[in-house]
């Protein structure tokens, strides 16, 4: 029985792997995409006084350039003299035909001293690279025209190096997945999932699962509690993993669509309906005729329970979907860059299972800790009914944050406190009854106070918002380009904040990071733009797809010349201090 159950619970993961290997799903192919050479190696150059910098940015982590294939040649239509190429440190790559070769992955910048340049001197650079284990490109040439440089000794001005951009956590995790090992990345993502289990995004799943366990009746063994909890966690993990792969493959618009008003309201209604079963208004089960047939197939278990719990797990995966955390972003970045959906899917699955571990422990313990008989069993079920209503309020809070939702939360707290006081009066008089009364009354006053202050401080909140970080609102790609050009005319760097009401981490940025002094001291030197993509309309989708945004929150940075600093893009939440360091790196560009 145990082996059979284990196999059944592993079916979602095996299905995910089989999908990833299937050739019938074009977006799940793992083979690296072979690009034209000019797209595989994006070329750029910059001349500053007598220093010429040539930069190549690779399209993926499997592309590389040979160090010894760079050749410079001065064309005859101008007079110029160049010094020796200054190479950055290469990595040694074992080539199937040439043995160990010094190469560059990801990006490389060569610096060349210009000893002298007259007129329209042109320099041709030849380079060659390969797509690892797929093909090698023929030697390719690019031509650069030099600005005039008076005769000099070729010594480059020693400038203080720009501070290196701190590697964001999501980029570090993407690099970890790109490494050679498999066990360490999966263990890392599993551990990070455990940490995420205690975040606001996962919290709604606790009352959902405990409500399911409480609804199983008085005779619930530890074994069945474990089986039900594992079934629920598997459903949640499957939804979370597949949704992540879809977002990485097709864009954030699908993530946003799942947070549309229709979906959120639908989920809120669903959890209210489920809460009614906790209050005893109906029993959530299949018709007796079908229940009898399934009972034999499920070894006399309650008809449809495992199927229903698995479906609830699938639906609950949507609850955590708007939270673009650094681990999720790291997996999405890796999938988007490499196309390896099998490893990306395994990382997302490991992350989901880490998130589900506390849920699994809670659900399993429910078989022992929940009362097995008596009035308290019904009281516990009613409390879980209140918690399911709280999940509904959380769904609606993504649509209508503010005073109204604060008042609704206060009313929910008052109702729960009133119910607990009523139940406590039915218990025998003792010092424990008194303690419970005191605790519940304090909760009642806290709820009333919360609602009162939400109403009374509404004007103060609006006033303080006027003194918060001020953004220029943009809606379309054209709006963004216009504001970036305007900022460029003033010689200023631009930060674009991509925001949505359903994005929990976006609000963390708004309240915890942006207002801090060490951050405002740097953002005051920038032009701050914000695009609210909550509506997920055609203009929002066009903007997100134009910049290949994988999830929210995402912050984009543009130089005064209008170029996006793609390597300094932020995806996922950052605290005030690391974000201030990140802004230093942006301003140094």
pLDDT digits (tens, 9 = 90+) for 219-233: 667 777 888 888 888
pLDDT bucket at 28, cuts 50 / 70 / 90: very low
What pLDDT does 61 receive? 78
Residues 467-518: tens digit of each pLDDT:
457 899 999 999 999 999 999 999 999 999 998 877 767 887 888 889 889 9
Distance CA 506, CA 499 (A): 6
Residues 60-97: tens digit of each pLDDT:
878 889 888 888 776 655 577 888 888 888 888 776 65
What pLDDT does 15 receive? 43
Cα 520 to its chain centre, rounded Å, is 25
Distance CA 482, CA 475 (A): 11
Least confident of 71-85, 417-431, 550-564: 71-85
Q: Where are the beta strands (DSSP E) in 96-230?
A: 99-105, 107-118, 122-127, 129-131, 135-136, 140-145
What pLDDT does 32 receive? 56
Instruction: Give the mean pLDDT of the chain.
Output: 75
Least confident of 92-101, 177-186, 244-253: 244-253
Q: What count of other Cβ atoms lies within 10 Å of the Cβ of residue 376?
A: 14
Distance CA 382, CA 280 (A): 8
Least confident of 102-106, 169-173, 482-486, 582-586: 169-173
Higher pLDDT, 558 or 328: 558
What is the mean predicted confidence (pLDDT) over 374-390? Answer: 72
Distance CA 528, CA 147 (A): 34
Higher pLDDT, 11 or 545: 545
Least confident of 176-190, 344-358, 360-374: 360-374
At 179 the three-state DSSP class reads coil
Higher pLDDT, 256 or 491: 491
pLDDT over threshold 90, residue 526? yes
Q: What count of other Cβ atoms lies within 10 Å of the Cβ of residue 419?
A: 17
pLDDT over threshold 90, residue 314? no
Distance CA 61, CA 292 (A): 56
What is the mean predicted confidence (pLDDT) over 379-408? Answer: 78
What pLDDT does 164 receive? 47
Domains of the chain: 1-30+168-375 (no CATH), 37-159 (2.60.40.1250), 472-587 (3.40.30.10)
Strand pairing class (526-532; 493-499): parallel
Least confident of 44-58, 189-203, 560-574: 189-203
Q: What count of other Cβ atoms lies within 10 Å of the Cβ of residue 143?
A: 11
What is the mean predicted confidence (pLDDT) over 419-438? Answer: 85
Q: What's the sign of the alpha-carbon dihedral 371, 377, 380, 386?
A: positive
pLDDT bucket at 56, cuts 50 / 70 / 90: very high
pLDDT bucket at 583, cuts 50 / 70 / 90: very high
What pLDDT does 494 receive? 95
What pLDDT does 257 receive? 60
What pLDDT does 18 receive? 38
- Percent of the chain at pLDDT > 90 equals 10
């Amino acid at each position: 029985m145990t082996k059979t159950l284990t196999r059944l619970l592993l079916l979602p993961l095996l299905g995910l792997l089989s999908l990833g290997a299937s050739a019938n799903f074009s977006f799940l192919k793992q083979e690296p995409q072979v690009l034209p050479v000019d797209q595989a190696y994006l070329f750029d150059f910059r001349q500053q006084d007598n220093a010429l910098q040539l930069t190549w940015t690779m399209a993926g982590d499997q592309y590389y350039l040979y160090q010894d294939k760079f050749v410079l040649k001065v064309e005859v239509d101008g007079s110029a003299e160049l010094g020796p190429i200054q190479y950055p440190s290469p990595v040694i790559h074992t080539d199937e035909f040439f043995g160990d070769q010094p190469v560059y992955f990801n990006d490389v910048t060569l610096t060349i001293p210009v000893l002298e340049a007259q007129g329209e001197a042109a320099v041709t650079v030849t380079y060659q690279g390969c797509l690892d284990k797929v093909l090698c490109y023929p030697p390719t040439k690019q031509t650069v025209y030099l600005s005039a440089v008076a005769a000099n000794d070729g010594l480059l001005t020693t400038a203080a190096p720009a501070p290196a951009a701190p590697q964001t956590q999501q980029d570090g995790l993407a690099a970890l997945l790109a490494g050679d090992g498999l066990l360490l990345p999966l263990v890392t993502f599993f551990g990070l999932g455990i940490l995420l289990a205690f975040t606001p995004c996962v919290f709604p799943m606790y009352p959902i699962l405990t409500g399911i366990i409480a609804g199983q009746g008085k005779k619930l063994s530890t074994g069945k509690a474990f089986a039900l909890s594992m079934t629920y966690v598997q459903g949640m993990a499957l939804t979370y993993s597949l949704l992540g792969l879809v977002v990485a493959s097709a864009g954030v618009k699908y993530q946003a669509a799942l947070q549309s008003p229709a979906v959120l309201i639908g989920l809120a209604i669903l959890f209210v309906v489920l809460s009614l079963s906790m209050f005893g208004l109906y029993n959530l089960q299949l018709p007796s005729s079908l229940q009898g047939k399934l009972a034999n197939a499920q070894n006399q278990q309650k008809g449809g329970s495992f199927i229903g719990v698995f479906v609830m797990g699938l639906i609950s995966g949507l609850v955590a979907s708007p939270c673009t955390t650094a681990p999720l972003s790291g997996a999405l970045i890796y999938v988007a860059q490499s196309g390896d959906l099998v490893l990306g899917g395994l990382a997302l699955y490991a992350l989901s299972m880490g998130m589900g571990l506390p849920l699994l422990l809670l659900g399993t313990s429910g078989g022992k800790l929940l009362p097995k008989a008596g009035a308290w069993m019904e009281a516990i079920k009613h409390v879980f009914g209140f918690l399911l209503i709280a999940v509904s309020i959380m769904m609606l809070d993504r649509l209508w944050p503010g005073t109204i939702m604060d008042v609704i939360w206060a009313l929910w707290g008052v109702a729960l406190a009133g119910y607990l006081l009523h139940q406590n009066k039915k218990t025998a008089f003792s010092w424990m009854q008194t303690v419970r009364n005191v605790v519940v009354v304090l909760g009642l006053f806290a709820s009333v106070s919360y609602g009162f202050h939400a109403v009374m401080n509404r004007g103060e909140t609006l006033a303080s918002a006027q003194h918060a970080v001020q953004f220029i609102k943009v809606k379309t790609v054209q709006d963004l380009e216009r504001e970036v050009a305007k900022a460029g005319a003033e010689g200023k760097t631009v930060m674009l904040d991509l925001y949505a009401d359903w994005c929990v981490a976006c609000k963390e940025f708004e309240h915890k990071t942006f207002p801090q002094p060490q951050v405002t001291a740097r953002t005051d030197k920038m032009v701050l733009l914000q695009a609210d993509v909550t509506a997920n309309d055609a203009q929002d989708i066009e903007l997100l797809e134009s910049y290949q945004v994988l999830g929210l929150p995402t912050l984009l940075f543009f130089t005064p010349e209008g170029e996006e600093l793609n390597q300094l893009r932020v995806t996922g939440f950052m605290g005030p201090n690391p974000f201030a360091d990140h802004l230093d790196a942006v301003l140094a560009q």
